[in-house]
Structure 1
Amino acid sequence: MTLLPHSSFSWMVWICLFTGLFCLGIFLGSQYVFLPSLIHEDDSPLYSSGLQDQNFYESAYAQAKWHEEKNAVQSALAAHHLLVAHKIAETFYTIGNEDVHTIVLISPNHFSVGRSFAQISLGNWQTPYGILETDEGAVVELLSKNTELAQEEEAFAKEHGIAALTPFIKKSFPNAKLVPIIVHDNLTLEQATILGTTIAQTLPNALLIGSADMSHYLPEYIAAFHDEVTLTALAHGDCRGCELETDSNALLRILFAFNKEHGSQVWHPLYRGSSILMGATNDPEDNTSHILGYFTSGPPENGTFMSLTMIGDIMLDRSVRTEMEEHGYDYPWQNMERFLSGTHTVIGNHEGTVGDWERKNAHEAPYPFVFPIEADEVLSLYVDVVSLANNHTDDYGKEATTSTQETLTSLGIKWFGTYNDAAPRLDMEVGNTSVSFVGFNQFQSSWKTLVAQIEEASAENLFVIAYPHWGTEYARVPDTSQQYLASLMVEAGADLIVGGHPHVTQGAEMIDDVPVFYSMGNFIFDQPMPETDKGYAVGVLREKNNLSLWILPYRIIEKQPTPVSDQEAAKIFEELADLSSEPLRDVMMQGKITTVFNP
């Protein structure tokens, strides 16, 4: 074997190393690789924008389309996931301005580094277009005016939410200096609002950019619903109390407050997509969605905005209880945290009593269920409202029923309906909409009370959602009693009907323009039949008079509801379409019903 001379060998090592690093930068286009922090000539930290070179960004800008905007841009929302570098470039190409001298860039604190919930830096960033300097005067002034802010440089060294956008800022805002801020989601609504207002008042000529990706780790059919709620919130200038399924609610609250103070609340969306839609992955665990756009002067959209996630039967006894006692009371919910976030309110059916009552045999008819209070304490973290209008609420008698109602109230869980009555209904604000929830247990309650409750709520101009417990167990097709009751509820003034009890899914139909979902199936249950392990939630979004209803399938695997893949969801949509009325079959295949609500 012939050996290479030492100098030739060294040269080849350097070539291989350089080539490897270059390829790594291209391969990791959607990832973040950082060089060590250095010291700028003024002794401030010098951070790296990453390994991507100027060609990477020039290629992104070459794919960008320019969107003409005659009004001054006051703020923007951009992704930091470099998988969509061309869309980030398009956003910056559209909003870029040589006359802007200060950019406030806000990112989530992805790694929870540091002590404060809001942190600011005096560092600078090395980018392929040169060093992006920090506006030291603006940083010092903000520190003096907001006690929540703290200078914590260690939090910025590897924060890709800041670093990823610095090359775009340096290229599109060549005369701007940076005010970098990162926030933790523990920042309260009040704190975020004060910070956003303070930034607007202290730096009236600054342009604020929120660096945030949207939905994470979910199939596209769920991410699309959550992003639709987020897009509506952006257009309305506020989420009105909901927790959006995004990188950072704190960041968006700061953005909303900044825009409100500036009077710049007109939202211009440029792009909505996801890793799955781009073909970058088929694995929901790797999915990230993206929303990019900007705001100009003017008021936000006004009118109705509310969003809900409605789920089916929740049973926390029997073998579900055994699993919780072994693995923790959060066990049934572990795969649904992000699935159940992203809307104003989550509603489910509470299929049992709560408390330390002496347990009966729940494995034999009539299957009396009792849940430990610890299970409902965890439930309260995921579900806001429950129906008690079902055939198991009274399993342990009147005293236990009253105790259950009191326990739910003490846990902050609102409830409606009872074992033998559609009253009381629950009237509450969801977003900015007055909603009335009416429950009905077909097997004990009087339909006359049901109709009266709906008529009263409708007469008060409330958006009436009926949640009946009805039908034949394990039947995939609604029986005649369900169809008759549905017609009565529509005639009485119900605006939406979503049912449960059969333990399997049933289809949907429209009755006089009112959507009726006959059965969502189980949400948390332990029945052995395979058909009872499949269910769907209904995502509800009302924006002005437009009502969108999203079908969100899942499977129960080892007592844990779990989102299905987009491929399996498509099969479930097809199955539900076959079970639905003829006029709805095409839209059910798409997993979404859109209708116009006529108050």
Structure 2
Amino acid sequence: MRVKNITIIFSFLILLGLMGGYFLGSFENDAGKSKLNEEKRSDVSGFHYSSFSQKDFFDSAFEKTIRPQISKNQHIRGIIIPHHLLASNLIANALYSISSEKPITVVIISPNHFFTGQGQIISSLYDWETPYGILESDKNIIKRLQANRLLDIDELPFEKEHGISNLTAFIKKVLPNAKIIPLIIKDTLSFRESDFFLDNINKILPENTLFIASLDFSHYLPSQIADFHDTKSLAVLASFDYEGINFLDIDSKPSLRIFLKYLASKGANAFNLLDHSNSAYILKDENISETTSYITGFFSLGNQSKNEQTTLLAFGDLMLDRYIRKITDKNGKDYPFQNIKRFLIGNDLTLANLEGSFTDFQPKPLDPDNTTFTFNPNLIPVLKKIGFNIFNLANNHSLDFGKDGLIKSQKYLEDNNIDYFGDPSNKDRISVIKNIRGIKIGFVGYNEFNNSDFHKIIEEIKKIKQEASFVVVYTHWGTEYQTNFSETQQEKAHQFIDAGADVILGSHPHVIQPVEVYKNRIIFYSLGNFLFDQTFSQKVRQGLGVGIVFDKIKLDYYLFPTETKGFQVNLLGKEKGDIILNELADQSLAPEDIKKQIIKGKITINF
């Protein structure tokens, strides 16, 4: 987590007077002003220090707790809490659920925020001085873990590691006789190292050890995107989805993987959510552009709790030739996406319409009038790394370099484990079904600019509807640069929904077109350009990202306006984004309550 962001958040607190002078000593980059931090730097006596020495700050946090009713028979083995002190009430509320006078060993696992110290997994032998007294480290066990080469001991990183120091006073308050094993984990920890640690730690830790994960979730994004990303995070926690961790908006993926795998080995599979919030909600200012989100909950012995939600982030046209090729050759393959990388992670599926083919053929000479596109295959690993894992190929550019070009493109995608669906001729591999945590999402592609049998697409939708929980139809249709949909588009869209489609996503017009609600299903007639080198009008530089949450009882749609500037995709700020959403609501065919939701950037369709 960036120190800059912590400073911004705490500055809000000071300005709003929410916590008065409590936070004046909490900024790492104000350490020179804090007597406590001076002690931490000069200390050689075998102690680390909790972030604050003011006992009344922590008392105040506990006084505001809801104090959840936890059955003693739940056998809690793990708890997940944030380390931002902005969320002090959430931390206190969660830890109160495990309060006990009994002696217990507590493992606290945290990100190594500053990537310091020797080793991938680092611990400390020092005790911790808190306003409630000394919180002892479990020195004997830590030394055994070190002797078995499961961790390294290095005291220096703990002088500034707020993932640990922000929590020690809370822990001492609720577990006064606990001994702790603090662990900070580097992001470079490999799966092999992680598995070796997990395979051996159970041989050393006491049976009733409590694991505390000190983790913050979505970072540096507006509140609605944070909520969308957290939907997946909550599903991953409930279902122990280790694969889903790979693209999760969280500050330490290795820490969460160790935490969940340890709990699974103990049979503590039942996740119980206590709180979910973010810094914008706590500060009561949803206009904050960079939030941090917080999830608290405990894990007890028992079966996994059900969370049957899956997320999809969908965009319009993605074109990587012509001037986009020129700029990526000059500035790097990820240049167009540098401003939205955080936005692109945190989703189960990330989708766009691929306006061309990946081939090793020579591209056409640079010319704005050239409309025959081929993309550099070396861009595929970059797209995968930033989150894209599925593409629509049913469009009028997939055959720009003939059937050979399409086959090459499909092979390149397959070699990189990226799924695709849709065929420019509407014949082969029209559809694909993705299984995410047991929820099956079917995708069907349709290219209007091929005179094949339209009835075949209808039959494919009906077929996929029998096999999948939800059906997404991605269409390539309409007239370029027209800001409204045609009667033909509407007729086909209605037929798709009549056949079983749950949502329709459109591309090709290169501008955003209105939304329609038909039979309680939503049609996005055109999402506009996601990334294209067209610059002749503002509308061709704008697009609409749609974040869809699939749920058995409802579908949520988050609306994210984007804009390309200098051939880089950017999330629009609230002022410009609101203009697009207001225009979209005004032009859409939808009930008034849905139009109001469009303006707010989130639509909910209940079944």
What whole-Å deviation, never above 9, does each CA across 1:438-472 have from its counterpart, x for those lacking one?
11111115322322322222233453221111122
Q: Summarize the Cα distance change of 1:351–1:488 in structure 2 as closer, same or farther, 3 Å threshold.
A: same
Aligned counterpart in structure 2 of residue 483 of structure 1, from 490, 494, 512: 490
Aligned counterpart in structure 2 of residue 307 of structure 1, from 289, 292, 311: 311
Deviates more, 1:335-344 or 1:277-286: 277-286
Q: What residue in structure 1 maps to residue 349 of structure 2?
A: 345
What whole-Å deviation, never above 9, does each CA across 1:486-506 have from its counterpart, x for those lacking one?
122222222322221211122
Q: Summarize the Cα distance change of 1:590–1:100 in structure 2 as closer, same or farther, 3 Å threshold.
A: farther
Give the C-alpha shift of residue 549 in structure 1.
2.4
Q: Is the 1:440–1:467 contact (alpha carbons within 8 Å) kept by the matching residues of 2?
A: yes
Distance 2:588 2:153 in 1: 58
Aligned counterpart in structure 1 of residue 43 of structure 2, from 7, 26, 38: 38
Q: Summarize the Cα distance change of 1:203–1:589 in structure 2 as closer, same or farther, 3 Å threshold.
A: farther
Q: Kindly indicate whether residue 419 of structure 2 is the aligned counterpart of residue 414 of structure 1.
A: yes
1:137 aligned counterpart, secondary structure: helix
Aligned counterpart in structure 2 of residue 587 of structure 1, from 576, 597, 600: 597
Deviates more, 1:542-551 or 1:438-447: 542-551
Aligned counterpart in structure 1 of residue 113 of structure 2, from 96, 110, 113: 110
Give the C-alpha shift of residue 237 in structure 1.
3.7
Deviates more, 1:284-293 or 1:554-563: 284-293
Q: Which amino acid in the other structure matches residue 541 of structure 2? A: D
Q: Kindly indicate whether residue 441 of structure 2 is the aligned counterpart of residue 435 of structure 1.
A: yes
Q: What residue in structure 1 maps to residue 234 of structure 2?
A: 231
Aligned counterpart in structure 1 of residue 130 of structure 2, from 109, 127, 132: 127
Distance 1:541 1:100 in 2: 43
Q: What residue in structure 1 maps to residue 374 of structure 2?
A: 370
Q: Which amino acid in the other structure matches residue 61 of structure 2? A: A
Aligned counterpart in structure 2 of residue 267 of structure 1, from 233, 251, 271: 271
Aligned counterpart in structure 2 of residue 465 of structure 1, from 465, 468, 472: 472
Q: Is the 1:77–1:291 contact (alpha carbons within 8 Å) kept by the matching residues of 2?
A: yes
Give the C-alpha shift of residue 540 in structure 1.
2.3
Deviates more, 1:217-226 or 1:407-416: 407-416
1:431-580, aligned counterparts within 5 Å?
431-444=437-450, 446=452, 447-461=454-468, 463-528=470-535, 529-580=537-588
Paired residue total: 571
Deviates more, 1:395-404 or 1:568-577: 568-577
Aligned counterpart in structure 2 of residue 26 of structure 1, from 23, 26, 35: 23
Deviates more, 1:258-267 or 1:124-133: 258-267
Q: Is the 1:422–1:438 contact (alpha carbons within 8 Å) kept by the matching residues of 2?
A: no
Aligned counterpart in structure 1 of residue 410 of structure 2, from 405, 411, 428: 405
Distance 2:333 2:139 in 1: 49
Deviates more, 1:227-236 or 1:25-34: 25-34
Q: Summarize the Cα distance change of 1:421–1:195 in structure 2 as closer, same or farther, 3 Å threshold.
A: same
Q: What residue in structure 2 maps to residue 392 of structure 1?
A: 397
Q: Is the 1:97–1:172 contact (alpha carbons within 8 Å) kept by the matching residues of 2?
A: yes
Distance 1:283 1:191 in 2: 41
Q: What residue in structure 2 maps to residue 14 of structure 1?
A: none
What whole-Å deviation, never above 9, does each CA across 1:71-126 have from its counterpart, x for those lacking one?
34332111111112232222223332222522111101111223533222222222
Q: Which amino acid in the other structure matches residue 329 of structure 2? A: E
Q: What residue in structure 2 maps to residue 8 of structure 1?
A: none
Distance 2:417 2:268 in 1: 36
2:137 aligned counterpart, secondary structure: coil
The two structures, once aligned, show a CA RMSD in angstroms of 2.8
Give the C-alpha shift of residue 208 in structure 1.
1.3
Q: Is the 2:287–2:574 contact (alpha carbons within 8 Å) kept by the matching residues of 1?
A: no
Q: Is the 1:422–1:450 contact (alpha carbons within 8 Å) kept by the matching residues of 2?
A: no
Q: What residue in structure 1 maps to residue 34 of structure 2?
A: none
Q: Which amino acid in the other structure matches residue 105 of structure 2? A: T
Give the C-alpha shift of residue 179 in structure 1.
1.0
Distance 1:124 1:566 in 2: 47
Distance 1:541 1:148 in 2: 40
Give the C-alpha shift of residue 372 in structure 1.
2.2
Distance 1:197 1:70 in 2: 30
Distance 2:248 2:510 in 1: 30
Q: Is the 2:231–2:311 contact (alpha carbons within 8 Å) kept by the matching residues of 1?
A: no
Q: Kindly indicate whether residue 265 of structure 2 is the aligned counterpart of residue 257 of structure 1.
A: no
Distance 2:191 2:600 in 1: 36
2:504 aligned counterpart, secondary structure: strand
Q: What residue in structure 2 maps to residue 137 of structure 1?
A: 140
Q: Which amino acid in the other structure matches residue 64 of structure 2? A: Q
Unaligned ranges ≥5, structure 2:
1-18, 32-36
Distance 1:100 1:483 in 2: 67
1:488 aligned counterpart, secondary structure: helix
Give the C-alpha shift of residue 418 in structure 1.
2.3
What whole-Å deviation, never above 9, does each CA across 1:474-528 have from its counterpart, x for those lacking one?
2222211221111222222223222212111223233333332222211111212
Q: Which amino acid in the other structure matches residue 390 of structure 1? A: N
Q: Summarize the Cα distance change of 1:152–1:30 in structure 2 as closer, same or farther, 3 Å threshold.
A: closer
TM normalised by structure 2 equals 0.86
Distance 1:171 1:57 in 2: 9
What whole-Å deviation, never above 9, does each CA across 1:310-344 have from its counterpart, x for those lacking one?
12211112222222122111100101111011122
Q: Summarize the Cα distance change of 1:68–1:38 in structure 2 as closer, same or farther, 3 Å threshold.
A: same
Aligned counterpart in structure 2 of residue 178 of structure 1, from 177, 180, 187: 180
Give the C-alpha shift of residue 210 in structure 1.
0.8
Distance 2:598 2:422 in 1: 30
Distance 1:373 1:175 in 2: 58
Q: Is the 2:517–2:590 contact (alpha carbons within 8 Å) kept by the matching residues of 1?
A: no
Seq. identity, %: 34
Give the C-alpha shift of residue 385 in structure 1.
1.2
Q: What residue in structure 1 maps to residue 56 of structure 2?
A: 55
What whole-Å deviation, never above 9, does each CA across 1:385-417 have from its counterpart, x for those lacking one?
111111111122222222222222223322222
Distance 2:494 2:419 in 1: 27
TM normalised by structure 1 equals 0.88
Q: Kindly indicate whether residue 170 of structure 2 is the aligned counterpart of residue 168 of structure 1.
A: yes
1:317-356, aligned counterparts within 5 Å?
317-356=321-360
Q: Is the 1:192–1:251 contact (alpha carbons within 8 Å) kept by the matching residues of 2?
A: no
Q: What residue in structure 2 maps to residue 9 of structure 1?
A: none
1:156 aligned counterpart, secondary structure: helix
Q: Summarize the Cα distance change of 1:299–1:571 in structure 2 as closer, same or farther, 3 Å threshold.
A: farther
Q: Is the 2:564–2:570 contact (alpha carbons within 8 Å) kept by the matching residues of 1?
A: yes
